[in-house]
Amino acid sequence: MRFYSSRALDNLIDSSLSHYEINFILLEVLGRTLEDIRIKGISAWEVERIEPYLQMARRYPVEYIFKKAFFRNLVLYVDERVLIPRNETEQLVDIALHLIQERTPDRILEVGTGSGAIAISIASESGKKVFASDVSPDAIEVASMNVRSHKTQGRVLLFVGDGLKAVDGEWDLIIWNHPYVLPQEYEDLPPKVKVEPAVALISTPDALVDFLREGMKMLSRKGVILLESAPRFIERIKKSFPDIRVVKDLYGVERFVLLERR
């Protein structure tokens, strides 16, 4: 029997968790939303069931607790071996799909695929073949689980590789959601973010510019490099490549960079 427990509800709302995290837990454990609980109440038994998860989620990402992340129309397996795909990156896929429609690239490469979120989305939404690498063999293991579960084995071709060292030939589209936390910023990140792999978070603007110099040499005549980045990195890129195009994210922050072969 359900009864309305305002104290239990307050406990949920008062916690340090976001609305998204609370709903994630409620849906996974009880199959209910916070809105539904506000209207219909919550039983003591239900509170007992969700409490350990709420506690855990204060120091650990909900996506890792339930080994699951939502990205565009995909449900992806994730664990500590990969970065949890972010909302902004859904927009990166929109830009990539637009470029694919406009330029019909044949050779597409995603560097640093992590869970495979970008490559799998592009392959399943455009029907194109995507080569996808990561420097972390652990990440490639996770990505291959996701490639199999989304039945994109023939279209997402995974391999371990550092930057562009493992590839040759010309590419029409090179995509990288690169790590964009500076080494000196890492210590100050919230503990919950530091659970994610450091290799997926930390980089330097100079390392990125080296990657871009290499990438520009590997672009075909109609080729483009598309990055998800951060303002400090973008400032540095502009110094070496003044002709870049920058697109803002939905929060108005300079986030996506397009570089074409000159």
Interface residue with ligand SAM, options 83, 120, 147, 226 (CB under 6 A): 83
**What count of other Cβ atoms lies within 10 Å of the Cβ of residue 66?**
16
Binding residue count for ligand SAM, defined by CB under 6 A: 21
Identity of the residue numbered 111: V
Q: Does 146 bind ligand SAM (CB under 6 A)?
A: no
Nearer to ligand SAM, 134 or 172 (CB): 134
Where is 214: in which H helix or E strand? Answer: helix 205-217
135: contact with ligand SAM by CB under 6 A: yes
Going residue by residue from 33 to 72, which x/- string records binding to ligand SAM, judged by CB under 6 A?
A: ----------------------------------------
Complete DSSP assignment for 33-63? -HHHHHHH---HHHHHHHHHHHHHHTTS-HH
Q: Report yes or no: 135 and 112 within 8 Å, Cβ to Cβ.
A: yes
Among 99, 118, 225, 259, binds ligand SAM (CB under 6 A): 118
Long-range contacts of 135-138 (CB under 8 A, 24+ apart): 135/160, 135/161, 135/162, 135/163, 135/199, 136/81, 136/160, 136/197, 136/199, 136/200, 138/81, 138/82, 138/197
Q: Is the Cβ of residue 113 or residue 152 nearer to ligand SAM in the bound state?
A: 113
Q: Which of 102, 106, 162, 206 binds ligand SAM (CB under 6 A)?
A: 162
Give me the least distance between CB of 231 and ligand SAM, in Å please: 16
Identify which range of 4-12, 81-89, 147-155, 251-259 contacts ligand SAM by CB under 6 A.
81-89
Instruction: Compose the 189-228 pattern: x for residues touching ligand SAM by CB under 6 A, - for all others.
Output: ----------xx----------------------------
**Residue nearer to ligand SAM on the CB measure, 26 or 164:** 164
In whole angstroms, the minimum distance from the beta carbon of 207 to ligand SAM comes to 8
Phi, psi (degrees; rounded to nearest 5) at 194: -70, -10
Using CB atoms, what's the residue nearest to ligand SAM?
Answer: 112
CB 123 within 8 A of CB 130: yes
The token pair at 188 is 């100050």
> Which residue lies nearer to ligand SAM by CB, 37 or 83?
83
Report the C-alpha gap between 125 and 194 in whole angstroms. 32
- Beta carbon of residue 155, minimum distance to ligand SAM (angstroms, whole number): 16
Helix (H) or strand (E) holding 235: helix 231-240
Residue 177, interface with ligand SAM (CB under 6 A)? yes
Residue 113: which of 89, 84, 134, 98 has the closest Cα? 134
Q: Which residues bind ligand SAM (CB under 6 A)?
A: 83, 85, 89, 111-115, 117-118, 133-136, 139, 162-163, 177, 179, 199-200
